[in-house]
Amino acid sequence: MTHAPGNHGLLDLYGCNETILKDEGRLKTALVAAAQAAEATILTEHFHTFGGAGGVTGVLLLAESHISIHTWPEHRFAAIDAFICGGMKLEKVKEILCRELAAERAVWTAVQRGEGILDDIQPSVEQ
């Protein structure tokens, strides 16, 4: 039996709205909406805004893993990392965040993590 515990998505967003990339509250709302659309369970969150023209870094800790974001408003760029276990809808994270951050261009990479981990488990044999 082949099993993969989760899917990992990396999303680079270019040409985002600079004001959104500096707004911790708006980014938190966007990540929560993405997690909900993926049907994930939010356990807790932590965000930090860097002073001046700096950006925001934040993470949602999920029962199914995590979604994190790091923004560079001066470059109109955001990097998102989403690891979702089980049958959650990872693609929804991409759709919501592309829209909410008003990205002009997105680069999405998704991979299965731990594929086949159950293949190595041998049934115990009683002697």
Which residues are identified as catalytic? 65, 70, 85
Q: Under 8 Å CB-to-CB from 75, ≥6 apart: which residues?
A: none
C-alpha dist (Å) from residue 21 to 45, 61, 113, 121: 17, 20, 29, 45
58's tokens = 């934040």
Three-state DSSP class for residue 86? coil
Token representation of residue 68: 């994190």
The residues pairing with 44 across neighbouring beta strands, listed in sequence order, are 61
> Is 47:56 a contact under the CB 8 Å cutoff?
yes
Are 6 and 86 a contacting pair, CB within 8 Å? yes
Tokens for 25? 């509250």
